[in-house]
Structure 1
């Protein structure tokens, strides 16, 4: 039986002009994850990454901490959905940070909370299927793409091999949805709870694929608790 461990990337750079890069905390998370994985003394045979810079940065930092020198195989199927495109179709003003700050002041909340309200509303619009013509990639297309990526990894693994896949929360949620038969609402409730650099493990045999763990983040407990983030 082979094992596929899905790893959500470290914290990205929210609020920066280029979101697709790790924050300082994101790098610390990736280093801590590497130490924790090394302590497990598990054999790692191959490593895959999605097509985002934050996936590569997380993988490179994690593997360096593990003391592993393995090539990173890029599988674009494990890239996250385009949240900026989805937001723009629902709320064109989202890029205007001053507008977000004004909304936050009116509601007496942080700008991040206003953004999350917009984000959740935009995701609901994307998923409901009534505006598919607006999007470069529909929700069903995204689901199929991610599941195809998992099939690709499974096909490349020999029995008893172990692969790490560095990806994003949306991709992990879609895989959990398929394996646990979740509806869309439950899938996104799961997505909101996924920790940066959390682990999700799948056992793969010739006939079965089972979700063995979802969103492990015990490596951020105790004195490492300050590294636990979800956005």
Structure 2
């Protein structure tokens, strides 16, 4: 059996002018991930990531601890869901229908908990048959692209390989739901709880793929205790 590690990027810079940049904590998480992989003797044959800076930087910092140089391929199909695009086009529609959501938005989206509630509402509408907004990428197009990217990776790499995919919460959630045979209406259940720099393991043989474990961040807890700091974060 071959192995794929789906890895969420380290903490990004929420609230900063440039969100698509690892925070100082995010960089430490990525380095801790690299140390963990090296300690466990996990030698990667190849790595993939989306083209977002936070994904590429997490890969760079983690791969630095590998005993040999790892070929790192960029595939934009592993990018995050286009949250800003969805908020721009779908949130106004939802606010017209939901006074409670409007009140929440009117208070501002400065804190991550409020922002996450908005993401939940927008995401679940986006994946529903009711969403017909032509100005944004459709759920079907996005989910198909993510599925195809994973299938092509498996075909290209073949048997017996150990691969890392550095991606984001929404994309990892989508891939996990697909592996489990679940549709878009179930995907957010995997999206919300994903920790920064957590690891999800898949096994594959030819075109068959199965879930081994999901959203493991125990190594961050252990290494944080060793360093006397908290390395665990959601947002």
TM range (shorter): 0.7 to 0.9
Query: Deviation per CA, 1:118-153, whole angstroms, max 9, x where unpaired?
Result: 222221221223233344211111110100110111
After superposition, the C-alpha distances for 1:58-91 in whole angstroms (9 at most, x for unaligned) are 0001111345422311111111111111111133
The question of whether the paired residues in 2 share the 8 Å contact of 1:44 and 1:163 is answered with yes
- 1:208 aligns with 208
Q: Which residue among 103, 119, 124 is the counterpart of 2:107?
A: 103
Deviation at 1:110, TM superposition (A): 7.2
**Contact 1:10 1:197 survives alignment (8 Å):** yes
Moved over 6 A (4+): 99-102
State the Cα deviation string for residues 19-67 of structure 1 (Å, max 9, x = none). Answer: 1111111101001101001011022111111121111100001111345
Q: State how 1:129-148 maps to structure 2 within 5 Å.
A: 129-148=129-148
Report the secondary structure of 1:27's partner residue: helix
Contact 2:45-2:71 at 8 Å conserved across structures = no
Distance 1:224 1:155, change over 3 A: same
- The structure richer in helix per residue is 1
**Which residue is equivalent to 2:96?**
none
CA distance in 2, matches of 1:33, 1:164: 12
Deviations 1:168-206 (A, max 9, x none): 111111111111123434320111111111111111112
Gapped runs of 5+ residues in structure 1? Answer: 93-98
Which runs of 5 or more structure 2 residues have no equivalent in the other structure? Answer: 93-102
The equivalent of 2:155 in structure 1 is: 155
Aligned to 1:227: 231
C-alpha spacing 1:223/1:207, structure 2 compared with 1 (3 Å)? closer
The DSSP-based 3-state class of the residue aligned with 2:3 is: strand
Q: Which residue of 2 aligns with 1:3?
A: 3
Question: What is the 5 A alignment of 1:147-186?
Answer: 147-186=147-186
CA contact (8 A) 1:101 1:111 kept: no
1:24 and 2:28 correspond: no
User: Does the 8 Å contact 1:203/1:211 carry over to 2?
Assistant: yes
Of the structure 1 ranges 205-214 and 140-149, higher mean CA displacement relative to structure 2 is found in: 205-214
Distance 1:18 1:129, change over 3 A: farther
* Aligned length in residues: 221
8 Å CA contact retained: 2:22, 2:54: yes
